Amino acid sequence: MFNIDALVRSNIKMLSPYSSARDEFQGKASVYLDANENSLGSPLMKWYNRYPDPLQQDVKKKISFIKKIPPDQIFLGNGSDEPIDILLRCFCEPMVDEIIIMPPTYGMYEVSANINNVAIRKVPLTPSFQIDLEQLELSIQPNTKIIWICSPNNPTGNSMDRGSIEIILNNFDGLVVIDEAYINFSRQKSFVADLNEYPNLVVMQTLSKAWGLAGLRMGMAFASRDIVAVMNKVKPPYNISAPVQELALKALDEIGQVNDMIKAIVEMRADLEIELTKIESVEKVYPSDANFLLVKFSDATAVYHHLLLDEIVVRDRSKIQLCEGCLRITVGTNKENEALVNALKSFKQL
């Protein structure tokens, strides 16, 4: 049975989090003399002299309306990398506990674990890029605290089998974190709707991909109230700046435009896949539920450097386990995709 008290690090349980006056005072006031701000304003805009809402309540209300979950089950971070780091700091004792990752996958799970001195067990995906449930079961130890699942997966682009994820959620007593950064480009159902069914579930999403706001750096984690409360104890007091909150609020009103962009990107992804399969140096284009394609080339390194000569940058994944000989290519604009295809056509194999 899932027991959050058994998972939280003992020092985090005892932690008295930093509390600002904005945390302690709820409501509106006409005079704020609590935070040692510059009362005369700022060189940019007058209201930027004030600290932002530490819990981003207005943004969470808007996300709550879109996602159909309560605001107190939402954690907002500086990109997805902040909630990744905070989950490790909340639930994994350095040099004691372990996490499980399933390579090839997003690299920051491993980097953050290494920074926090948390051991990593690796359970590679199957050759079809799916979860190896048998090996996963054998790898789980009493001190395994978190299993990380990226779906749709980066860099492979495919979604993980939902039944496999449900088996893990039903049988693992630690946290199961599903990173859904690319879920908007997939027909797969998000696990956000299942939060009440699985108390050990954390779902991560982002405004960087489908919402086109990578420069804002706003990641989202959805979980039970208890898990979010622990994360809020550990986060910096003002981790999301005022300009980011303002711009996010404006963007979240444009659901129609975002849906149009998602549809366009999915259509361009299909067109790009067709064009890539016609190119001599391409051996395979893997199916994708994301806004990128994993493509296997006869000589990925040579192709990568050839593209650089045309000032086209893609991601070389050819040294990654199960992605040997592959480049990860983001779906660009029609003009960018055309430039990519033309450059690949001009590549001459030795």
pLDDT digits (tens, 9 = 90+) for 176-193: 999 999 999 999 999 999
pLDDT digits (tens, 9 = 90+) for 93-109: 999 999 999 999 999 99
Any idea what the Cα angle at residue 341 is, between residues 340 and 347, rounded to 5°?
90
- pLDDT in the model for residue 248: 98
Sequence-separated contacts (24+) of 129-136 with Cβ below 8 Å? 129/104, 129/153, 129/156, 129/158, 129/286, 129/322, 130/158, 130/160, 130/161, 130/164, 131/102, 131/160, 131/161, 131/164, 131/165, 131/168, 132/102, 133/164, 133/167, 133/168, 136/100, 136/102, 136/168
Domain ranges of the chain: 4-18+53-253, 256-345
Average pLDDT over residues 72-77: 98
Query: pTM of the prediction?
Result: 0.95
Residues 126, 322: Cα–Cα separation, whole Å: 9
- pLDDT in the model for residue 245: 97
Q: Which residue has the tokens 């399969």?
A: 277
Mean pLDDT across the chain: 95
Q: Do domains 4-18+53-253 and 256-345 have the same CATH topology?
A: no
Average pLDDT over residues 248-253: 97
pLDDT digits (tens, 9 = 90+) for 111-149: 999 999 999 999 999 999 999 999 999 999 999 999 999
* Homologous superfamily of the 256-345 domain (CATH): Aspartate Aminotransferase, domain 1 (3.90.1150.10)
Q: Which residue has the tokens 């990109």?
A: 79
CATH topology of domain 4-18+53-253: Aspartate Aminotransferase; domain 2 (3.40.640)
Confidence of residue 263 (pLDDT cuts 50, 70, 90): very high
- pLDDT in the model for residue 107: 97
